[in-house]
Structures are given as structure tokens and as C-alpha cells.
Structure 1
Amino acid sequence: MIRLTLYTTLGCHLCDELEHHLASLSVAEVMLERIEIADDDALMARYGERIPVLVDADGVELERGFEPECLAAWLAERGWLHEGAVETAEAQASQPKRAYLRHGRRFLGQRDPTR
């Protein structure tokens, strides 16, 4: 099991992206300790404009981990990268995103989830 710390805040969509990519790219199960930065002035000053920030047990920080290539390189340095997952992620990224209209609004996705 891989234990990491994630500096985050409520409603952080980039943090959600990082967690999604982390789950799919890691060679082992990941246990995240989520630290809410909004509750601490010092953490807000340090991480407020940088979140999400992922930290390993040695204190090495990763910024921009929501970018799959950046996260994959960081995981590979630690021997935690699932190589097959990288190929799958790259193949999915190269496929064009589909869109659909619902009630006059455009949504990205494979299909309308209400159908």
C-alpha cells in the first residue's frame, strides 16, 4: 500500500482529477491522508494557490499532479507506476471527446446519462 498526503480544499476539482489519475496509474492501492488547508492560515499561505499538492513519506511534494504525465513521472521515480495504465490513459486521451446536448446545454461525455 502506498501512503501519501494530499493538501486539498472542499470543492477542488483539480484534486478530484488527481485522485482519479492516481487510482488508475498506481501499481498498488493508495491510502490518502487529506489535509484541508482552509482550516489553517499557515497551510493556506503555503498551499493556497498550489493545490492539489501530493506529498510522499519522505516529504517530496508534487504540484500539478492532476496532469497525468506529471503524475506518471513522479510515480515512476518511486517505482509506483503501473506501466500498462499509462498506455491506456494515453489511448483514452488521444480519442476525441464526444459531446451531447441536453435541455440546450452542451455536455462532454460518451453519451447522455439520462438515456
Structure 2
Amino acid sequence: MIHLTLYTTLGCHLCEALEHWLGRLAGVEVRLSRVEISDDEALMARYGVRIPVLADASGNELDRGFEPERLAAWLGERGWLDEAAWRAAREGEEGRSAPRGAEMRGGRRYLSPAGKR
């Protein structure tokens, strides 16, 4: 399991798109922590025009992760990309892969790879 942080704000449709793609493309279970930037002036200054920003446990950040190509490359660099899901997404075979779900545990959202619910 990997832990990722999503810097976001309420009603961010791009953040929702990033979560959608993360759920489809991650080949490992993901624990996703959401950080609301509007509650903190420093976070607003840092991320206000960049959200959604996804960060790994080492602090490496990804801007514009709602773009599937950018997210796939970022996940791939870390060995977390589901290559088959990425191929299917690029080929437009969305309906053929099993849908991925999310569940809440302890106030945190967990995304599971297909078949590992």
C-alpha cells in the first residue's frame, strides 16, 4: 500500500478527475489523504493555482495529475502503474476493465486495484 496526499479544495472538478484516473491506473492499493488548502493561508499561497497536486510520501509532487498521461508517467516512474489498465484507457476499452471502488476506513479514502476489494 502507498500513501498519497491530494491538495484540493471543495468542489474541485479537476481533483475529482485526478481521483478517477488514480483509481483506474494505480496498480497498488492507495491510501489517499485529502488536504483542504482553503483552511490555511500558506497552503493557499503554495497550491492555490496549482490544484490538484498529488504528493507521495517522500514529498515528490505532481501538478496536473488530472491529465492521464502525466499521472501514468508519474505512477510508472515509481512502479505503481497498472500497465494493462493504462493500455486499455489509451485504447478506449474502458468498459472491459473491472470498475474500481473506494472505501472509507478511519476517515481516509482507500482506492483498491481491480480484483482486490
| TM-score normalised by length of structure 2 | 0.77
Partner of 1:40: 40
Please give the residue correspondences for 1:1-115 in structure 2 after superposition, counting only pairs within 5 Å: 1-92=1-92
Displacement of 1:88 in angstroms is 1.0
Opposite residue 51 of structure 1, the aligned amino acid is: I
Which structure has more relative contact order (CA 8 Å, sep 6+)? It is: 2
Distance, in Å, in 2 between the alignment partners of 1:7 and 1:27 is: 22
Alignment gaps of 5+ in structure 2: 94-117
Output the CA distance in 1 between the equivalents of 2:2 and 2:24. 13
Rounded Cα–Cα distance in structure 2 between residues aligned with 1:29 and 1:13: 23
Structure 1: distance between partners of 2:39 and 2:20: 24
Name stretches of at least 5 consecutive residues in structure 1 with no aligned partner.
94-115
Instruction: Report sequence identity in percent.
Output: 68
The one-letter amino acid paired with 1:59 is G
**Structure 1 length-normalised TM:** 0.79
Q: Name segments (4+ residues, structure 1) moved above 4 Å.
A: none
Aligned-pair CA distance for 1:52: 0.2
Aligned-partner SS, 1:74: helix
Paired residues in the alignment total 93
Residues 49-87 of structure 1: CA distance to partner in whole angstroms, max 9, x if unpaired?
000000001100000100000000000000000000111
The C-alpha deviation readout for 1:25-69, integer Å capped at 9, x for no partner, is 001121111000000000000000000000001100000100000
